[in-house]
Amino acid sequence: MSRPDTLHLFSSSCSRSFEIITLLSLRLKMAAIRSCVEFLLLATVALVHTADPSLATENVKAPFVGLKHLDYHQDSPLHDAHTTFVERIHTSVRRSEARASAFRSIVAAGITPRGTHFDSTVEVSSKAASSFQSAVSAAPGGYIMSISLGSPPQTRTAIADTGSDLVWLQCAPCSVCFRQSDPLFDPRKSATFTRIRYFSPLCGELPQVSYDGGFCTYRYGYGDQSTTQGDFALETLTLTAIDGSTQSINNFAFGCGRRNQGTFAGTDGLVGLGRGAISFTEQIGSRTGSKFAYCLVDAGTSGSEVSPLIFGDSAAETGNALNLSYTPLIRNPAADTFYYVKLNGISVNGQPVAGIPANAYTLNVLTGRGGVILDSGTTITQLVQSAYIRLLTVLQSLIAYPQVDGSPVGLDLCYDVSGVSSPSLPSVTLQFQGIDVVLPADNVFLQVDAQGTMCLAFAGTSDFSIIGNIQQQNFYYLYDVENERVGIAPLDKCAALASTAASTGGLLDEL
């Protein structure tokens, strides 16, 4: 962030204080004004400090995180060993639909003005929180990861989500919390926990905030009525290397959730990997060059394998060795968290799918509608109906196997390939600007049972399209946010990349 931009944040944060002066008593008015003056003095010192290159923080060793699938991996708190693979697929399909609906709500609402005041005295009842639990999470994310905060570090399991920004954990004491297997994060046991001041620029980056004795409290929603509310604070983030060495990042901003409800049950919180200023990726961006990459293992091995999530120079170097091709990232003013890309068309077996309207994938930056989002948390790719119906028609014309009912797993196009050792199924190419991503049959069709039923891993939706994680598996995706682009390259097996990283010990294993 440039110094003029920072000064603008400082001044806008202080000016925002006077917007709520009428809500405060005389004592609080004076306290608010005093806090603002103190903050501006501290801000001036901070600008001088950051302007001196000799005081800049050195880059940390590039982190490596093992992502575990929310439903399939045996270590996931939501993994149910008693469910069948078909049931897990059905859950993933329903979650994809719910997640698309949640994204639709966020886009429709547009950007919430930063720093909007809310009434923190309105309690979320424990009864309401428990009754809100649903069988299928709209799921902020389809993968979990470990994160270590505090001094000494408290390691917790959180959902990794490219569709949101805030990093938060459930905190003790907690007035309304969902069930989790780990102990609540306890700031009283940390020597470095510090609440963030209300008039700080960081507080101003949150959509909804409340003044609490000079400190910043937050409320953050996910489009499906799931919310977290609590204290916005600074903590020490610890990175632990495979060789056992650790590195610390001070003053990492996170939400200490005191009132939480919705579709997070089983995990301890959430790590936002979106494009906003308070996301995990942006907060460590100055140390990692605002680059991160992942390589998602295929569904068949995600019960035991982890998917590597890599940050910094190592992410770029690995990508360069794979001969990445790049497509530009696009900003949607109505949903600045999401990673939008430009999709020009779709082809099947190398032939363009005809009849799809020219504007089917176009993002309207005036309304925020349309466009194509890359999202690791959505399982099944969601295509706008005008494109999906055409794709469905072409695939049906090319596949000769007996068609069967896909309703048990919630998918539209399924075939019986029992007795066929190597089914011949079409490939689908996603024609992004600058790169054609050729999806092999395993990225297009899912084998959903032991009887040999294979189903198309695409679904129809409205308003916009989402490229899901089935289509991304065994491809290396490098998000070069600083240069506004995404690099993509195919791999034989993403699990091999994770194993190589683990055996070399050159990357970080856990956050």
What is the pLDDT, as a whole number, of residue 417? 95
- Band (pLDDT 50/70/90 cuts) for residue 118 is low
pLDDT tens per residue across span 359-412: 999 999 998 999 999 998 888 999 999 999 999 999 999 999 999 999 888 899
Mean pLDDT to the nearest integer, 188-203: 97
What is the pLDDT, as a whole number, of residue 474? 94
Residue 75 pLDDT > 80, yes or no? Answer: no
- Band (pLDDT 50/70/90 cuts) for residue 325 is very high
pLDDT tens per residue across span 409-429: 889 999 999 989 889 999 999
What is the pLDDT, as a whole number, of residue 511? 45
**Stretch among 54-63, 155-164, 342-351 having the lowest mean pLDDT:** 54-63
**Over 56-104, what HEC string results?**
CCCCCCCCEEEEEECCCCCCCCCCCCCCCHHHHHHHHHHHHHHHHHHHH
pLDDT > 90: percent of the chain: 49
Residue 60 pLDDT > 70, yes or no? Answer: no
Q: Do 208 and 112 meet the contact criterion of CB atoms below 8 Å apart?
A: yes
- Band (pLDDT 50/70/90 cuts) for residue 52 is very low
Mean pLDDT to the nearest integer, 303-329: 87
**pLDDT higher for 79 or 24?**
79
ω into 173 cis (within 30 of 0): yes
Q: Do 69 and 469 meet the contact criterion of CB atoms below 8 Å apart?
A: no
Q: Show the beta-strand stretches assigned E in 368-484.
A: 372-374, 381-384, 403-404, 414-416, 428-432, 435-439, 445-447, 453-456, 458-461, 465-467, 475-480
Residue 482 pLDDT > 90, yes or no? Answer: yes
Q: Other CB atoms closer than 10 Å to residue 319's CB: what's the count?
A: 21
What is the pLDDT, as a whole number, of residue 449? 84
Residue 87: phi and psi, rounded to 5, are -65, -35
Distance CA 511, CA 508 (A): 8
Residue 292: phi and psi, rounded to 5, are -150, 160
Active site residue 375: yes
Take residue 466 and report the two structure tokens written for it. Answer: 């989402």
pLDDT, the chain, mean = 79
Take residue 217 and report the two structure tokens written for it. Answer: 């409290």
**Stretch among 58-67, 126-135, 334-343, 472-481 having the lowest mean pLDDT:** 126-135
**pLDDT higher for 8 or 177?**
177
Q: Other CB atoms closer than 10 Å to residue 213's CB: what's the count?
A: 10
Q: Show the beta-strand stretches assigned E in 442-498.
A: 445-447, 453-456, 458-461, 465-467, 475-480, 485-490
Q: Which of 148, 251, 166, 262 is nearest to 209 (CA)?
A: 166
Among 161, 165, 268, 509, the active-site one is: 161
Among 71, 231, 268, 375, the active-site one is: 375
